[in-house]
């Protein structure tokens, strides 16, 4: 009898017939019933996802904003520090700078044109101080009476004022910058940060112990959180949720340019 072989290993195989073809047909893949989610189950799942997202996304955004604002503040601090170091090379030590004692918008401009603006890459003038008549509010940021406001290369808006007139302490320039311009929250210690350039050449926060207007120079972190840092001219300084926030920049620097869990954001 003649044997039937197929090509697999040369071994005899049973001949294929119509029955076998139907048995191995893939048509069952298309006709088999499959389990699926009902519409109600899908809607419930989407609702749960929406609730979880509503609870977590604001927290994530808040954490991102904190990190972004502080990173930009630290970057701006570095830009300003470098500018003042370059200025000292050309103009001598800060203690010898010609600080105008009669504060006015014109005197501020003259001072900054000599000691600050040449050492910042492409600064853009934005607006004059608070009480200058008919001023153009391009940035809507004028932190001091006779300050000048500029846009720095990194997009941060800064207002500067020489420490003449009624500003006491060994201060040469008082400054506040806003890391995100007109956008909210426009609040000290959040997107706005205050610094001073002191006569010893140090750029630091306003509670720098070198400041002669500061009564208790050995203050602690808790003193700032509880508004117990005495400032002779302006009273107690601190960093609280709804109160005095003048010490918030100090607190962030004390914490290594970070926002800790107990920081009153």
Whether 130 is in a domain gets the answer yes
Among 10-24, 76-90, 105-119, the range scoring the smallest mean pLDDT is 10-24
Beta bridge partners of 162: 173
Whether 59 is in a domain gets the answer yes
Range of the domain at 58: 47-204
Residue 243 has pLDDT above 60, yes or no: yes
Give percent of the chain with pLDDT exceeding 90. Answer: 50
| Residue 78 banded pLDDT, cuts 50, 70, 90 | very high
Whether 53 is in a domain gets the answer yes
Whether 188 is in a domain gets the answer yes
In the prediction, which pLDDT does 131 show? 59
Among 81-85, 97-101, 169-173, the range scoring the smallest mean pLDDT is 169-173
Q: What is the DSSP letter of 8?
A: S
In the prediction, which pLDDT does 255 show? 96
| Residue whose token pair is 């914490």 | 255
Report the domain count for the chain. 1
Whether 113 is in a domain gets the answer yes
Helices then strands, counting H and E runs in the chain, come out as 6, 8
Q: How do residues 199-221 score in pLDDT, each as one tens digit?
A: 999 999 989 988 878 888 889 99
Whether 260 is in a domain gets the answer no
In the prediction, which pLDDT does 50 show? 83
Whether 265 is in a domain gets the answer no
Residue 18 has pLDDT above 90, yes or no: no
3-state secondary structure of 83: helix
Residue 36 has pLDDT above 60, yes or no: yes
Q: Which H or E run contains 63?
A: helix 39-91
Q: How do residues 169-188 score in pLDDT, each as one tens digit?
A: 588 999 999 999 889 999 99
Cβ atoms 224, 239 nearer than 8 A: yes
pTM over 0.75: yes
Rounded distance, CA 71 to CA 155, Å? 13
Q: What is the 3-state secondary structure (H, E, C) of 39-57?
A: HHHHHHHHHHHHHHHHHHH
Smallest CA-to-CA distance from 250 within 143, 10, 261, 219 is with: 219
Q: What value does the mean pLDDT of the chain take?
A: 84
In the prediction, which pLDDT does 15 show? 55
Q: What is the DSSP letter of 182?
A: T
Q: How do residues 125-160 score in pLDDT, each as one tens digit?
A: 988 876 555 555 678 888 888 999 999 999 999 999
Rounded distance, CA 252 to CA 187, Å? 14
Whether 210 is in a domain gets the answer no
In the prediction, which pLDDT does 194 show? 95
| Residue 247 banded pLDDT, cuts 50, 70, 90 | very high
3-state secondary structure of 17: coil
Q: How do residues 37-68 score in pLDDT, each as one tens digit?
A: 788 878 888 888 888 877 777 666 667 778 99
């Amino acid at each position: 009898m003649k044997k039937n072989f197929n090509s697999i290993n040369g071994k005899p195989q049973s001949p294929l017939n119509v029955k076998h073809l139907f048995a191995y047909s893939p048509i069952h893949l298309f006709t088999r019933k499959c389990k699926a989610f009902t519409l109600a189950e899908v809607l419930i799942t989407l609702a749960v996802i929406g609730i979880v997202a509503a609870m977590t996304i604001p927290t994530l955004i808040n954490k991102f904003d904190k990190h972004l604002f502080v990173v930009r503040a630290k970057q701006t601090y570095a830009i300003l520090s470098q500018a003042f170091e370059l200025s000292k090379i050309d103009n001598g030590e800060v203690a010898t700078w010609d600080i105008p004692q009669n504060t006015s918008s014109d005197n501020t401009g003259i001072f900054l044109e000599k000691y600050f603006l040449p050492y910042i890459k492409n600064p853009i003038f934005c607006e004059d101080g608070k009480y200058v008549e008919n001023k153009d509010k391009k940035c809507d940021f004028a932190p001091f009476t006779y300050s000048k406001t500029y846009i720095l290369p990194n997009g941060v808006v800064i207002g500067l004022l020489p420490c003449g007139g009624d500003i006491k302490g060994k201060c040469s320039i008082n400054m506040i910058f806003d890391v995100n311009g007109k956008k909210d929250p426009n609040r000290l210690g959040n997107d706005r940060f205050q610094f001073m350039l002191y006569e010893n050449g140090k750029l630091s926060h306003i509670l720098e112990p070198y400041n002669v207007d500061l009564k208790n120079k050995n203050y602690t972190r808790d003193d700032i959180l509880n508004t117990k840092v005495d400032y002779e001219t302006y009273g107690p300084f601190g960093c609280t949720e709804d109160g005095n926030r003048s010490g918030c920049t100090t607190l962030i620097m004390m914490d290594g340019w970070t926002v800790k869990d107990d920081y009153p954001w």
